Amino acid sequence: MSRKIWNRDSEGPGEDQHINAKGGFSMLNSAKNFLREVVQLGLLLIAVAVVLQVIFGSAVPFVGGDIIGNLTGVIGSLGDGGLVGLISVGIILYLLQRA
């Protein structure tokens, strides 16, 4: 048995916040929310690293490598993969849309 509760920070009931039969929040929803935040933080850090490397070149001290070179390498390997690469890109885009 689960029922929806109101989140104090939102205007209405929370989508993923349910009380389970014992009265506590679902641990699985907490883990999903945590991982979603980690992925969003990672994407933000990648975007900042790309912008810094475009502005300052490859000599950005705290980025730690050639981010643009790594991204083009991954995209190139997915492109060389043919149908498997296309399916991989589709799966990655689907997962990013859900996050």
| Domain span at 74 | 66-99
Q: Model-level pTM?
A: 0.56
Residue 61 lies in a domain: no
In a domain, 96, yes or no: yes
- Residues 6+ away with beta carbon under 8 Å from 65: none
φ, ψ of residue 17 in degrees (nearest 5): -100, 105
pLDDT per residue as tens digits for the range 33-59: 898 899 889 888 888 888 888 888 777
Provide the domain count of the chain: 2
Whether 49 and 17 map to the same domain: the answer is yes
Tens of pLDDT along 18-37?
555 555 568 888 888 898 89
Q: What number is the average pLDDT over the span 89-95?
A: 79
